[in-house]
Amino acid sequence: MKARIIVTLKSGVLDPQGKAIEHALAALGVPGVASLRQGKVFDVEIAAADKDSARASLTSACEKLLANTVIENYAIEL
Amino acid sequence: MKAAVIVFPGSNREGDMARALRQATGVKPAMLWHDDHELPAGVDLVVLPGGFSHGDYLRCGAIAGRAAIMDAVRAHAARGGLVLGVCNGFQILCESGLLPGVLMRNANLRFVCRTQHLRVERNDAAFTSHYAKGQIIEVAIAHGEGNYEDDDEGIARLEGEGLVAFRYCDALGRLGGDANPNGSRNDIAGIYSARRNVLGLMPHPENLIDPLVGGIDGRALFESLAAA
C-alpha cells in the first residue's frame, strides 16, 4: 500500500527557511506569492491488512519520529 | 564523579568533552556507543556531546534522541542522575523528551561560529556552583540550529520555575539585539529540567578550558560537576 505523509510547521511557528524561499521567489519576479511555508513529504510503502491498520502504523511513525509535535502537524494520505 | 560520554554516528566534540571532564575530575570518562543498552554501573553524569549526529537528517537530534542508549539515559535522569547535553546534545535532549521545546534554524539562517558571552542565571545547580549568580562568561558557539522555541506556556513555565540556565548577552551583560546570535526566545542559551538534574545548552563550555585557546570560562562548569 502506498501512503504519503505531509509534515508542516504549525501556524505561528517562525519558518525562516520558508521566508527565505518566499523572498527568493519575489526576487525571481514570480508574481502573486503572498506567503510560503516549507514542509516535508514522506512517501511510504507499507504492508498492512487494510487502510485502518496502515493508518495506525503511520500515526505511530509520525508520533514517534517523523514529526516533532511541539512545532509540527502531520497529515496521512492513503 | 563518574562520567560517561555517549558517542553517536556523527558526534565530533566527544574528544573535547572527554578532555574537559578529565581535567576537572582527574578521571577519564567512559565512552559509550549509541546502540549500547546500559550505562556503566555507578555513573553519576551522562554527557551528550556536540556534532551532527546522523547527519542532522530529519531534524537535528531526532534520530539520536530515539537511540537504544537513550532509554538508559531517561532512566538515569528519572533517578535524579545528572545529564549534560551540549549543542547537538541539547538538540538530542529536546528530541528525546528529556527537555521541553525545540531548537529551530537560526533566525538569520546563518551558521554562527564564534565566541559568545552568556549570563549565568543561577549558581545553585550542580552544573554551576563554581560560577557566581549573574556572572558573565565567554564561551564558544558553533551551530546552525540553536534558536530555542517553545509555546508561550512552555516559555512561561521555564521562566516561572527558574529553569533558564544561561542567556546570551554582550560583554556587559546586556540582553537582546545583536547579543542574541540565533533568535532564541528570551535569549535562552540553555535550560534545566524541572529537577535541575538535566542541562542542555547550545554553547560549548568544553572549548574554553585552556588559556592556550583564549579563555577558561568553561572550566567552572566541569569543576562544579566534579564537586557535585
pLDDT in tens, B113-155: 999 999 999 999 999 999 999 999 999 999 999 999 999 999 9
Could you tell me which chain B residue has the CA closest to the CA of A20? B109
Give yes or no for B183 touching A (CB within 8 A): yes
Q: Compute CA B19 distance to the chain's CA centroid, rounded to the nearest angstrom.
A: 16
For residue A14, the model assigns a pLDDT of 83
CA pseudo-torsion sign A30, A35, A37, A42: negative
What is the grid cell recorded at B146? 540553536
d(CA B49, CA B87): 7
Residue pLDDT, tens place only, B144-170: 999 999 999 999 999 999 999 999 999
Contact B148, B211 (CB under 8 A): no
User: In this predicted model, which residue has the larger pLDDT, A68 or A14?
Assistant: A68
Pick the residue of B58, B145, B149 with the most A CBs within 10 A to test the interface with A by mutation: B58
Contact B136, B173 (CB under 8 A): yes
From the first residue on, what is the mean pLDDT of each consecutive set of 10 residues in chain B (228 residues)?
97 98 97 97 98 96 97 98 98 98 93 97 98 98 96 96 98 96 97 98 97 96 97
Degrees to nearest 5, angle at CA B128 with B141 and B42: 100
In this complex, the residue of A17, A64, A70 whose CB is nearest that of residue B105 is A17
pTM summary value: 0.95
Kindly name the residue from B87, B95, B117, B145 that is annotated as catalytic: B87
Hey, is B148 helix, strand or coil? strand
Pick the residue of B56, B57, B59 with the most A CBs within 10 A to test the interface with A by mutation: B59
Q: Flag if B105 and A16 touch (Cβ within 8 Å).
A: yes
Pick the residue of A38, A40, A65, A69 with the most B CBs within 10 A to test the interface with B by mutation: A65
Superfamily of B3-227 according to CATH: Class I glutamine amidotransferase (GATase) domain (3.40.50.880)
Nearest-neighbour CA in chain A from B104: distance (Å): 9
Give yes or no for B112 touching A (CB within 8 A): no
Nearest-neighbour CA in chain B from A6: distance (Å): 13
Contact B187, B164 (CB under 8 A): no
d(CA B93, CA B40): 20
Active-site residue flag, B204: yes
Q: Flag if A71 and B104 touch (Cβ within 8 Å).
A: yes
For residue B188, the model assigns a pLDDT of 98
Of all residues in chain A, the percent with pLDDT exceeding 70 is 100
Kindly name the residue from B34, B76, B130, B204 that is annotated as catalytic: B204
B169: amino acid identity, one letter: C
Degrees to nearest 5, angle at CA B189 with A67 and B178: 110
Nearest-neighbour CA in chain A from B133: distance (Å): 31
Degrees to nearest 5, angle at CA B22 with B16 and B23: 90
For residue A17, the model assigns a pLDDT of 86
Active-site residue flag, B54: no
Helix axes B88-96, B69-78, angle to 10 degrees: 80
In chain A the domains, ranked by start, together with CATH numbers, are: 2-77 (3.30.1280.10)
| pLDDT of A16 above 90 | no
Let me know if B148 is exposed, middle or buried by CB neighbors in 10 A (0-12, 13-18, 19+).
buried
* Those residues with Cβ within 8 angstroms of residue B41's Cβ, 6 or more apart along the chain or in another chain: none
